[in-house]
Amino acid sequence: MCRGRQQRQQKQKTANYSDVNSQSSAMLKRFVTSMPKVELHVHLEGTLEPELVLTLAERNNIDLSSYFKDVNDLRSKYESIKCLNSFLQVYHRCASVLRTERDFYDATMAYLSRAKKDNVVYAELFFDPQCHKQTGVSFETMADGILAAVDDANHQLDIKCKLIPCFMRHLSEASAMSMWSEIFKYFQQHPKARDKIIGIGLDSDEQDNPPSKFHGVFWKIRHASKSVVGDMHIVAHAGEEGPSNYISQALNLLRSERIDHGVQCLSDDKLVQRLRDEHIPLTVCPLSNVKLGVFDTLKQHNLKRMLDFGLNVSIHSDNPAYVGGYITQNYLAVIEALGMNESDVVCLAMNAINSTFVLESERVVMRQQLRDAARPLLLMLSAEYE
Ligand code: HPA
Ligand code: ZN
């Protein structure tokens, strides 16, 4: 548990929380908007706004007119998504407009520019190479475009970003193996990419696609030559709508270092204890979970319970163009719906920093940036409790 959180809980015993008036609530919202943030669960293809999908389709002469009439029609398709399966259908169709290095550059730049507005200082960005392989795009084309944008955004916008390609679990393990071979070759030809492509993830439809299906390919990744691929981190979506047992499988079989989503963990007490004891990061995406029907409403979301159990949870945006909000909107929505207070917010933001795959010295800097931003708010609130 965050130290700040423990201290705050002790303080709440002597202070009535209802004393915290609307002024402090407005201050909390202002703080959330401006605080430095870390984004650990966002899919490049999930950041494609309808306008960009249209622009790229036109640029590549891809006729999507049988699918939607215009930008408003496409936006209403986004809005009508109700579950993971219906989401993935729209997601794949729209992602198919990404064909050239320039497309990947533009999509990445568009996301990082938007993230900058939310004061994201560091992002670990997922993308789905197999999705684009199906339309004949090589890993090299995708990676070259994305990496060029990451470099330019670092210089022009002062935002840092690293990349995590994911395997799509509805495809076979053989398909993931062949993708891994292509990624491995890319590392051999582009040794500098090791600093930026820092891991492999697992995403897409959980139903009947347990982590065990990918045991072999993740074994191979863990045993790949370090001199070629560097330190490859492993993450996996698990327990989004799949059972808690998939979280255990991802940890035990794939050796996943973080669990993306993981909200189904509370049905297994032993697992909760392990997640807490081992501080395993759970990257939770509240607006996505409601949009895709994992929870009926945000008020029913178990994020606050997960935090109160002492789990290492953090808030992220998943597929922000589709689910109605980028990272700041996720924070604001949970403050409103779950009554999160300033200590919860700082704890969630600190957890995200602690869960990054960067050098400890870089985490120290990010923690200090967050503390500096939080100081006026915490000072004001502690004055209210006097
Ligand atoms: N869940 C699972 N797979 C995904 C998602 C998601 O929200 N977005 C892209 N691939
Ligand atoms: Zn996701």
**Distance, CA of 186 to CA of 229 (rounded, Å):** 9
> Which of the 8 DSSP states describes residue 125?
E
268 Cα to the center of ligand 1, angstroms: 23
Residue 4 confidence (pLDDT): 36
44 Cα to the center of ligand 2, angstroms: 10
pLDDT(386) > 80: no
Ligand 1 atom showing the smallest separation from residue 45 Cα? 9
Q: Which two tokens stand for residue 364?
A: 């120290």
Backbone angles phi, psi at 360, to 5 degrees: -55, -35
**Distance, CA of 99 to CA of 309 (rounded, Å):** 44
355 Cα to the center of ligand 2, angstroms: 16
Beta-bridge partner residues of 125: 42, 163
Q: Give me the amino acid identity at 299.
A: K
Best of 240, 260, 283, 323 for a ligand 1 pocket test (most atoms within 8 Å of beta carbon): 240
CA distances from 269 to 35, 212, 252, 265 (A): 34, 22, 17, 8
pLDDT(8) > 60: no
pLDDT(333) > 70: yes
Contact 383, 69 (CB under 8 A): no
pLDDT band at residue 2, thresholds of 50, 70 and 90?
Answer: low
Counted residue by residue, the chain has a size of: 386
90 Cα to the center of ligand 2, angstroms: 15
Q: Of all residues in the chain, what percent carry a pLDDT higher than 70?
A: 93
Backbone angles phi, psi at 385, to 5 degrees: -85, -10
Question: Could you state, in order of their start, the residue ranges of all structural domains in the chain?
Answer: 3-385
Average pLDDT over residues 79-90: 94
Contact 285, 327 (CB under 8 A): no
pLDDT(3) > 60: no
Least confident of 163-177, 326-340, 372-386: 372-386
Average pLDDT over residues 127-151: 98
pLDDT(1) > 50: no
Among residues 175, 180, 174, 164, the alpha carbon closest in space to that of 220 is found at 180
85 Cα to the center of ligand 1, angstroms: 10
- Report residues whose beta carbon is within 6 angstroms of any ligand 1 atom: 43, 46, 84, 203-204, 237, 240, 288, 318-319
Q: Whose CA is nearest to atom 6 of ligand 1?
A: 204
Best of 82, 167, 237 for a ligand 1 pocket test (most atoms within 8 Å of beta carbon): 237
Best of 44, 78, 87 for a ligand 1 pocket test (most atoms within 8 Å of beta carbon): 87
Least confident of 3-7, 90-94, 200-204, 323-327: 3-7
Residue 10 confidence (pLDDT): 43
Ligand 1 atom showing the smallest separation from residue 204 Cα? 3
Average pLDDT over residues 361-372: 97
pLDDT band at residue 234, thresholds of 50, 70 and 90?
Answer: very high
pLDDT tens by residue, 196-228: 999 999 999 999 999 999 999 999 999 999 999
Q: What pTM was estimated for this model as a whole?
A: 0.94
pLDDT(11) > 90: no
Candidates 206, 240, 241, 342; catalytic one: 240
Average pLDDT over residues 140-145: 98
pLDDT(180) > 70: yes
Residue 233 confidence (pLDDT): 98
Q: Whose CA is nearest to atom 5 of ligand 1?
A: 204
Ligand 1 atom showing the smallest separation from residue 318 Cα? 7
Ligand that comes closest to the CA of residue 170? 1
Q: Which two tokens stand for residue 272?
A: 């909760």
Residue 383 confidence (pLDDT): 67
Average pLDDT over residues 310-335: 97
Active site residue 240: yes
239 Cα to the center of ligand 1, angstroms: 12
pLDDT band at residue 36, thresholds of 50, 70 and 90?
Answer: very high
Residue 7 confidence (pLDDT): 39
Average pLDDT over residues 189-195: 97
Ligand 1 atom showing the smallest separation from residue 288 Cα? 7
pLDDT(6) > 70: no
Q: Of all residues in the chain, what percent carry a pLDDT higher than 90?
A: 90
**Distance, CA of 179 to CA of 167 (rounded, Å):** 8
pLDDT(181) > 60: yes
288 Cα to the center of ligand 1, angstroms: 9
Q: Whose CA is nearest to atom 1 of ligand 1?
A: 204
pLDDT(268) > 80: yes
Torsion region of 282: left, alpha or beta (phi above 0 gives left; psi -120 to 50 gives alpha): beta
Residue 17 confidence (pLDDT): 45
Domain 3-385 -> CATH class = alpha beta
Ligand that comes closest to the CA of residue 41? 2
Least confident of 108-117, 153-162, 369-378: 369-378
Residue 21 confidence (pLDDT): 59
pLDDT band at residue 13, thresholds of 50, 70 and 90?
Answer: very low
Ligand 1 atom showing the smallest separation from residue 319 Cα? 8
Q: Whose CA is nearest to atom 10 of ligand 1?
A: 204
